Amino acid sequence: MQQHEKSQVWWKPGVTLFIKVSASIAIPIIIALFLGKYLDAKYGTTPWIFLGLTLIAFIISLIAIWKNLSRYMHTLEQEEKEK
């Protein structure tokens, strides 16, 4: 029974990692897009605030991706040690 359960959810960790990495990219960029456009329109600085926030969002995305992948690699290493 346990082997049957493992074979049905073999894809779940990969999908979870994909969703986390995708969210790590999309959420900061979308926030930077809307906030940057709003602030540029408010202060008349087009496109500088938008570009600055996009750069910050890119850096945040890179850090978040690195952390997610590091955790996943650590989990894989722990599972391999347990075998």
pTM: 0.80
CA–CA separation, 12 and 2 (whole Å) = 16
The domain spans of the chain are 16-82
pLDDT-based confidence at residue 72 (cuts at 50, 70, 90) = very high
The per-residue DSSP string of 13-71 comes to HHHHHHHHHHHHHHHHHHHHHHHHHHHHHHHT-TTHHHHHHHHHHHHHHHHHHHHHHHH
Confidence (pLDDT) at 7: 59
